[in-house]
Structure formats: structure tokens, C-alpha cells
Amino acid sequence: MRDIFLKGWRPYAWIAVIIALVYSKAIWYGFTYLDDNILILGNMNFLRDISNSWDSFFLKVFPRSYLPYYRPLLTISLILDAQLSGASPVSYHASNIIFHFAATCLLFTFLGRMGYRRDISFLFSMIFAVHPVLSQGVAWIAGRNDTLLAVFILSSFIFFMDYIKDGAASRYMAHMVFFMLALFTKETALITAPMCLFYMHAISGERLFSRHEKALAAGWLVVIFLWSFMRSGAVEGSKSMNYYEMGSLIFAYLPAAVQFLGKVFFPFNLSVFPIIRDTAFIYGAVAIFFLVFSLAATKRRRDNYVIFGLLWMALFMAPSLIRANTRLVADFLEHRVYVPVIGCIIVLCETDAIRRLSERKTAMWASAAAVIALFASITFIHIDNFKDQFSFWRNAAKTASHSSFSHLALAVAYHDAGMEDAAMEEYRKCLALDPMDPSALYGIGNIYMRRGMLDDAEKQFKKAKAAYPAYDNAYMALGVVRYRKGDLRGAERMWNKAIATDPRNISAYRNLAIYYGERKDFTKAAICARQLQRLGAYVPEDFLKYIEMK
């Protein structure tokens, strides 16, 4: 077995083979329309220009959102993919698989650096490669953020361990570079520094305030200062939380951590959009009991390694429990466990159950093969839920039936496809959970308007406006209703109100341009047409010539 699987480069080849077998079909998947449509399809003009890579460091990942998400390396990875396939999802999915391969290979190296035997490191890496709970980080394009985070954190930690062993300046610089890359991927990377400190003193045995510690602390401060400075400019004006609010959310959503742990050990109740209410707790309870029992029964337990693993798991999972949008029912997407699961692996490696199994070579390889085959089969089936918009949101509405957002997103998918009856059903399910959801009210109003039921449509748009006074689409739609009813002045007021609410409302500008053209008010029509062009919208040449000639 050692010659077949463990000699030289062979472990990396086997990791590549198993990942290709399980995930290769995902290359041909489409978009789910959860974030990937905003990040890619709605941002294609920016992504197509590779020179915008530098600008990514000065922008939020969702520029029009109030949320302070700063992810420049995620944006840069999408820019590189856009050079290969543009708006086609092929290169984005292929890159996700490559990132997962890189993270798995780095995990194998990392476990070896931690002192675990090559066969144990390999088998746990193979399990990691096909683990169903991690599949969202591979099959969902936007899930690559946590995969990239793992790549940079593991690289940073490997070079850190090498540095404290030999003190080489090259190892130090490599550690700092990868730590910086991790930070520019996701702020969760801040946890890397305290984990390094714990490892240095509790495992490596470095004395306090050693030369290595001082050098590392200085480097971390410089990197964190640079990241903080650039981030503060990019997210200026965004909604932010104080430490008390973040701590309160972590405490409130601790049940989700139990559910995450259950999915790590028993990945049988997966969802593309899980919420606490619709996720079973039994698997998490059994997982906690198993861990506690295994650790209690371990006689040769190395407490410092166990605590390191538990801290890794808990600290990297904690930020996943902070949900910025408190109006919606909180979701806990499974790709967020991608980095914390590494802590679970370390804890398991310290139990006598794994040690005893590793002493019986045939039993160890047979047991691992069974787990790998089971997990690979589950993953192979589960990733089809990420195949396209309909597959994704049907699974979300089924497995997170108490999430109004799941039903709303499925309704929008049906609506866009012209399946109005199915869309109406999902809109109503959304409103049953959240009676004042403005998007659902707006969607129903649009269906009524398409059917010529203008009075019913107007009632829905007014409800949407009352539910969310800053909802520009409600004003835009009310303008259309009033135009069709012959109230032209009322339509003009509503469209101007939509623009006042959102100066980038292209539909309102387009309607006003046509309206002013019909009224022979060519000056205002030209103003609206030029604004449409500034916003990147298409304006017919014959219309431009018509209003300019007048």
C-alpha cells in the first residue's frame, strides 16, 4: 500500500484522481443565482478588464451592498477566469476544482508537518477531498472564497512551522506573504496569528518573547495595518458591527455550530441553503458525544494538540455565525466549515480510536476506503443540486422550507422562465412566512400586470412600497400601472421617485425618455437618454437621432 499510495508524488496523484472522479462533471454546471450572478454576470464589464485587478483592492466585493464584505482576491480570481471564458461558467467551475485540489494537497503537507504519519495524513486528506459538507465550496462558484482561504492559511501555517524550526528568512517572508493573501481573501484569516502563537508555545515549546515571536509579531502588525488601511477605504459608509453585536450573534447562533459539527461527522442532511429551524440537531449531538467519549477514552492523549485542534475548529467557525443581514432568517451555508473541519481532523488524529485503527493496517485501509467511497457517492449525487438555478433553489425551498428567501428566489427563477403559476405559488409561500416581503409583493404585482389586472397589480406595488419605502422598483412599477391607466403625470412622478430612490434605475430612465419623447419634450428626453448611456444601457440610434433633430 505504501508503494502504491504513499511513495513520492503518488499521494498528490491519487488526490487529483479522486477529486476528478467526483467533481469533473461540475465543470459543465451553470450559475445558481446566489451571489454568482451578482459577482460575475452583473459585473462582467469590470471582470473583462484585467487591469481592474488593482482596483479590486479599493472596492467591496458587492459595491452596491451596504454590507462591508472586503474580498479583493476573490474578485481577482474571477477576473482571471473572465479572461478565459467570459460570461460562460466553465472556467469558474474548473478553477474551483483546482483550488480544492490545492487545498487538499496542502492539508496533506500540513498534517505531515504536524507530525502525523504519512498514511494517516493521506487517508484524512482523501476524506477531506470528497467530504460532502465541503462540496459547496467546490460546486458553487462563490464558495471558492473559503477554498482560497484554506489554500492561503495552510500555506502560511506550513511556512510558519518551517520558520520556527530553522529561522530561515525565506520561510518568514513566505509566511507573511501568504498571511497577507489570506487576509485579502477573508477577514477570518486574522485568527491565523493567535493560532500560530498557540502552536509556538504549546506545541513547539518556544519561550515567551523569543526572537521568533518578536519577528512574527512585528510582521503580523505590519500586514494587518496594511490590510486594515486598505479595507477601511473600500468599505467606508458600509454598515458595520461592534464587538458586542458580533459576540451576541455568535452566542445566539451557537446551535448552528452544533449542526455544522453534525454534518462533518454525519453528512446526511445537507442543504444548499440551510437554516437552523430546518436542520436536524441529532447528528450534532451524536458527534459531540462521540468526540467527548473518544477523548475521554484516550489514554495517550496529547492535550496540547487536542486543544490546538479544538481552538482551530471553534475560532475559525465563530465568524461563520455572524450574519450581517438580521432581517432575513439566518442561513448557514456549508462551505463556511471548509477551514474549521481541519481542526476536527487534528482532534481525531489524537484519539486512541484512530491510533489503534492505524496499528491494524488492513483494517485502517479498509475502513478509510469505505468512508471515502460513501462520502464520494454522497458528494457525487449532492453536487447536482448546484447544477443550475432551478436545481439550487428547488433544493433550498425543499430543505429550508421555513426560509422566505428560498421560496422568493425559486419564485423569481420560475417568473423569469415564464412559469407564472409556479412563481405565484412560491411568492405566496414566501409571504406566508414574511407577509411584508417587498420583493414577493412586487413579483405578484408583476404577474397581475402581465395578465392585465391593473388594479390588483397596483395594490401589490403599493404594499411593496409601504413595506420598504426605499424600494425603487415598486415606484417604477407603479409608474407603469398609472401610464397604462392613462394617468401620465402620475406615471412621470413615480418614475422620477424611482430615480430619486436609486439614481441607477435604468428602467425608470428608459420609460421617462420614451415618455418625454412622446410629449415632444426633447430636452428632457435627451437628458434621460444620455444618462442611460452613462449607466451603460443601450439606447437605439434612431431614437437618439429623433430627439436630437428636434
- Read off the pLDDT of residues 167-215 as tens digits, 9 standing for 90 and up: 899 999 999 999 999 999 999 999 999 999 999 999 998 888 888 999 9
User: Is residue 285 domain-shared with residue 193, that is, in the same domain?
Assistant: yes
pLDDT band (50, 70, 90) for residue 299? confident
User: Is residue 344 domain-shared with residue 232, that is, in the same domain?
Assistant: yes
User: Is residue 336 domain-shared with residue 268, that is, in the same domain?
Assistant: yes
**Nearest Cα residue to 79 out of 92, 60, 65:** 92
Residue 300 has pLDDT above 60, yes or no: yes
User: Is residue 370 domain-shared with residue 501, that is, in the same domain?
Assistant: no
pLDDT value for 327: 66
Asked whether residue 2 is domain-assigned, the answer is no
Identify the top-confidence range among 67-71, 300-304, 415-419: 415-419
User: Is residue 338 domain-shared with residue 212, that is, in the same domain?
Assistant: yes
pLDDT value for 326: 61
pLDDT value for 5: 82
pLDDT value for 220: 97
- Number of Cβ within a 10 Å radius of residue 434: 19
For residue 275, which phi and psi values (nearest 5 degrees)?
-125, 160
Residue 550 has pLDDT above 60, yes or no: no
% pLDDT > 70, the chain: 98
Residue 142 has pLDDT above 70, yes or no: yes
pLDDT value for 355: 86
pLDDT value for 6: 84
Residue 164, Cα to own-chain centre: how many angstroms? 33
* Average pLDDT rounded to a whole number, residues 71-93: 96
Judged by average pLDDT, the poorest of 140-154, 345-359, 372-386, 402-416 is 345-359
Residue 260 has pLDDT above 90, yes or no: yes
* Average pLDDT rounded to a whole number, residues 339-346: 97
Q: Which of 345, 363, 386 is the last residue of a domain?
A: 386
User: Is residue 361 domain-shared with residue 464, that is, in the same domain?
Assistant: no
Using CA atoms, how far apart are residues 100 and 112, in angstroms rounded to an integer?
19
Using CA atoms, how far apart are residues 480 and 313, in angstroms rounded to an integer?
53
Instruction: Using alpha carbons only, give the angle 433, 437, 440 rounded to the nearest 5 degrees.
Output: 95
Alpha helices (runs of H) in 36-89, residue ranges in sequence order: 36-39, 44-47, 72-85
Q: Which of 356, 386, 416 is the last residue of a domain?
A: 386
Asked whether residue 442 is domain-assigned, the answer is yes
Domain hosting 299: range is: 8-386
User: Is residue 140 domain-shared with residue 231, that is, in the same domain?
Assistant: yes
pLDDT band (50, 70, 90) for residue 548? low
Amino acid sitting at position 79: I
Q: Find residue 199's DSSP bridge partners.
A: none
Q: Which of 386, 421, 446 is the last residue of a domain?
A: 386
User: Is residue 326 domain-shared with residue 435, that is, in the same domain?
Assistant: no
Using CA atoms, how far apart are residues 454 and 445, in angstroms rounded to an integer?
9
418: domain CATH number is 1.25.40.10
User: Is residue 117 domain-shared with residue 236, that is, in the same domain?
Assistant: yes
Asked whether residue 415 is domain-assigned, the answer is yes
Asked whether residue 35 is domain-assigned, the answer is yes
The pLDDT tens digits for 349-367 are 999 988 888 888 888 889 9
Average pLDDT, the chain: 93
Q: How many separate domains does the chain show? A: 2
User: Is residue 360 domain-shared with residue 415, that is, in the same domain?
Assistant: no
Residue 421 has pLDDT above 90, yes or no: yes
pLDDT value for 178: 98
Asked whether residue 1 is domain-assigned, the answer is no
Asked whether residue 215 is domain-assigned, the answer is yes
User: Is residue 530 domain-shared with residue 395, that is, in the same domain?
Assistant: yes
Asked whether residue 348 is domain-assigned, the answer is yes
Residue 132 has pLDDT above 60, yes or no: yes
Write out the three cell numbers for 411: 419564485
Asked whether residue 323 is domain-assigned, the answer is yes
Residue 369 has pLDDT above 60, yes or no: yes
* Average pLDDT rounded to a whole number, residues 306-316: 97
Using CA atoms, how far apart are residues 343 and 324, in angstroms rounded to an integer?
25
Using CA atoms, how far apart are residues 365 and 120, in angstroms rounded to an integer?
10
User: Is residue 409 domain-shared with residue 301, that is, in the same domain?
Assistant: no
* Average pLDDT rounded to a whole number, residues 236-261: 88
- Number of Cβ within a 10 Å radius of residue 455: 9
